[in-house]
Amino acid sequence: MTPFLAAALLAVLVAGTLAARWAVRPVGRHRAGILAPVEALVQVDAHCRSCRHTTRHAILRVHGEHICRSCGCLNTAVQEVT
């Protein structure tokens, strides 16, 4: 294999790798491009300690922790609002 052919093959492989990585980047805000965890299917209104107001929270089934859908804070003991 000649050096010119090897350089051309390497350039094609690098360009293909860069194109494949570029195509899978999330569009928009970073957190908006990521789906919610599979285990966090139950959502309730609760008081967030970081936001200091009532927001939507996703409840994890494993430990019963609440994840604020507004700021992403992990709350352990929260007051659910009915």
CA distances from 50 to 23, 25, 79 (A): 35, 29, 13
Q: Is pLDDT larger for residue 75 or for residue 11?
A: 11
Distance CA 13, CA 23 (A): 16
Neighbours of 27 (CB within 10 A): 6
Q: What pLDDT, in 10s, does the model give residues 28-58? A: 555 554 555 555 568 888 888 888 888 888 8
Cβ within 8 Å of residue 48, ≥6 positions away:
54, 55, 57, 68, 70, 71, 73, 75, 78
Which is more confidently placed, 34 or 66? 66
Q: What is the pTM of this model?
A: 0.46
How far apart, in whole angstroms, are the C-alpha atoms of residue 77 and residue 82?
A: 16
Residue 3: the pLDDT is: 92
Domain boundaries, the chain: 1-34, 36-82
Is pLDDT at 25 greater than 60 in this prediction?
A: no
